Amino acid sequence: MADVRNGRVVAVMPRQQLQARIEDLTNTQLIPISTRICTVKSEMNLFSPVSRLPRDIIFEVLWELSSIFWYDVLEEGTSDTDILYTATQYCYHFPWIAATQVCHFWREIALTEPRLWCHFKMSIHSRAELVQEVFRRSMNLPLCIVIYDSPQEGSYDSDTMQLVLQNLHRVSDLEVPNGLLRLCPEFMCRPFPNLENLLLKSHPERQYSDSYSGSPCLFKNSDFPKLQGTMICDIPLLDATALFQESLLRIGIVQSAIIPTNAFYPQLLQCLALSKNLQELIISDSTSESRDPIIWAELQQVSLPRLQEFRFCVNSPIALQILDFIRFPPGVDFYLRLCEPVWVSRTAVETFVRAVSSFLARTDRGSFREIKLLQSTESSKRNIYMEGDDDFAVETNLTGISAEHVIGRLLDSLPTSDVTNLTLYHFQCSGAIALGRALLPLKKVQSVCAYGTLGPLLVQVLAESCRWKHDVLFPELKTLCLLKVESEILPAHGTIATAFPSWLRIRSNAGFEIDDLEINGEHREWT
């Protein structure tokens, strides 16, 4: 076909033929270019170290991204309502999804590895399509599910809950709020053939009253043939007696001031009597004092012959008496944390020392792995604590009582003869001599770390102890670390003796040789 334009004959291509020509150019030119670009990108990826990692290593990286660290029920800075039981691993949704952008290989592993889809945290309002896709990608592997919110005014996604109920037979680890159980009672009527760990918690704002009974007989009609560990948070224990089975190896009980003391401890002993094969027991009690005292004479003793580890956190000196009603086996590891108002008087300190000494005498070869005496203030949390068979740490000035008095009473009464590491945090004391005398029982200390003003004070203590003849402080000391020492008392350069002349007396008179000296993160020379 031709056309005459401006006196010239111009060939005119039919529209369909022109479109076909354009498509042909696209197929023969642009697509190969795109292919070559992809090839170049792929070859460039070969130079990346992350692309040469084995598949199992990449999976471990993604797994670490998906896992969260477990909160110890007695660790500082952890609120009781946020505690997760230490027997399982959960993840917040899927934080490893961002890693799928690294390269195609990583994305393929992340989206096809069933183990990465087995641990997830969901809402009661999560879309059913998302939950169903998660179950599909996880194949038939055991599931670890965290349902993190409670229903508001009876609202929750029924389709989502039905999907969860249909897959309960696959669940090995479950965290569920008590409020959901009350509104969706089917949870308590289904079997849990593979459930190993259960965390049951109440709404954090729920207040306890004598008439409140939560969800009576939780899980009464459920079966837990494989249940090994359970954590119960802020729920009256009598509501959860069905969970206290002989097969349980680990029990954690957290009460956050919603149940008065006189109601909590009788329930506790009654429930522990149902689980006599326990190996690990965790009790965190910040319950409020009741006007009605505990009638200890009416309580019966409970024997836990297989217990290996006992963690106890209380804020009332009265609660220490519960130790007299639990019979522990020889060699149990004991972790204790006491919060104020325990440390408000010398009487409280003496009560604590007597209770713990009596406990040690009855447990026979029981060992302290950790003792924390926590004092909370408006601005910070401060504590005095002993860690392990070979660690001792001290922190803060206690209200109404000197820190060295507490240290002295602890060292006089507790098994600290094998302590090798000492940490002194920020606290005030009446003087170097008083502090040194309190620390004298620690004869095997080889490493000392002191914070703030305690650095110069410790130097003075060591210097003064050189005059004490047979009572030299820390005769086996090898490593000394001073942290957060005020910069104005330290020379920018030169020897440590420039700042602390008493070092020379220590070096010349003491029987020990310090091999490693560190101040504010820098190693220093002695002279």
The 10s digit of each residue's pLDDT in 275-328 is 888 999 988 877 656 666 677 777 888 999 999 888 887 766 667 778 888 888
User: How many Å separate Cα 416 from the centre of its chain?
Assistant: 26
Distances (CA, A) of 91 to 116, 455, 511: 10, 42, 53
* Number of domains comprising the chain: 2
Mean pLDDT computed over every residue of the chain:
69
Spatial CB neighbours of 505, under 8 Å, sequence gap ≥ 6: 463, 466
Residue 99 to residue 79: CA distance in whole angstroms: 31
User: Of 72 and 516, which is predicted with more confidence?
Assistant: 516
Tell which residue, 124, 89, 315, 85, has the closest CA to residue 203.
124
Where does the pLDDT of residue 448 fall: very low under 50, low under 70, confident under 90, or very high at 90 and above?
confident
Q: Are residues 28 and 83 in the same domain?
A: no
Would you say residue 385 lies in a domain? Answer: no
Radius of gyration of the chain from its Cα atoms, rounded to whole angstroms: 33
Q: Are residues 190 and 75 in the same domain?
A: yes
Would you say residue 136 lies in a domain? Answer: yes
Determine the 3-state secondary structure of 335 from DSSP.
strand
Residue % of the chain over a pLDDT of 90:
3
Q: Are residues 138 and 33 in the same domain?
A: no
> What is the mean pLDDT of the segment spanning 272-276?
89
Where does the pLDDT of residue 250 fall: very low under 50, low under 70, confident under 90, or very high at 90 and above?
very high
Q: Are residues 193 and 63 in the same domain?
A: yes
For residue 40, the enclosing domain spans 14-47
Spatial CB neighbours of 451, under 8 Å, sequence gap ≥ 6: 424, 425, 426, 483, 484
Residue 224 to residue 368: CA distance in whole angstroms: 34
Q: Are residues 41 and 128 in the same domain?
A: no
Would you say residue 232 lies in a domain? Answer: yes
> What is the mean pLDDT of the segment spanning 20-49?
68
Q: Are residues 21 and 93 in the same domain?
A: no
Would you say residue 364 lies in a domain? Answer: no
Would you say residue 378 lies in a domain? Answer: no
391-461-399-427 Cα dihedral, nearest 10 degrees = -70
pLDDT digits (tens, 9 = 90+) for 467-489: 666 677 777 777 878 777 665 55
pLDDT at 79: 36
Distances (CA, A) of 486 to 483, 489, 494: 9, 6, 16
pLDDT digits (tens, 9 = 90+) for 164-215: 889 989 999 998 887 777 777 777 778 889 999 998 887 544 444 443 444 4
Q: Are residues 169 and 189 in the same domain?
A: yes
Tell which residue, 275, 234, 266, 231, has the closest CA to residue 73.
231
DSSP conformation class of 398: B
Which of 46-55, 211-220, 455-464 shows the lowest mean pLDDT across its residues?
Answer: 211-220
What are the two backbone dihedrals, phi and then psi, of residue 33, each rounded to the nearest 5 degrees? -65, -45
Would you say residue 336 lies in a domain? Answer: no
How many alpha carbons lie under 13 Å from residue 494 in its C-beta half-sphere?
Answer: 10
Q: Are residues 134 and 181 in the same domain?
A: yes
Q: Are residues 63 and 136 in the same domain?
A: yes
Q: Are residues 103 and 225 in the same domain?
A: yes
Q: Are residues 43 and 180 in the same domain?
A: no
Spatial CB neighbours of 214, under 8 Å, sequence gap ≥ 6: 178, 182, 202, 235, 236, 239
Answer yes or no: is pLDDT of 135 > 60: yes
Q: Are residues 108 and 231 in the same domain?
A: yes
Would you say residue 135 lies in a domain? Answer: yes
Is the Cβ–Cβ distance between 233 and 200 less than 8 Å? yes
pLDDT digits (tens, 9 = 90+) for 77-97: 333 333 333 333 333 456 677
Would you say residue 197 lies in a domain? Answer: yes
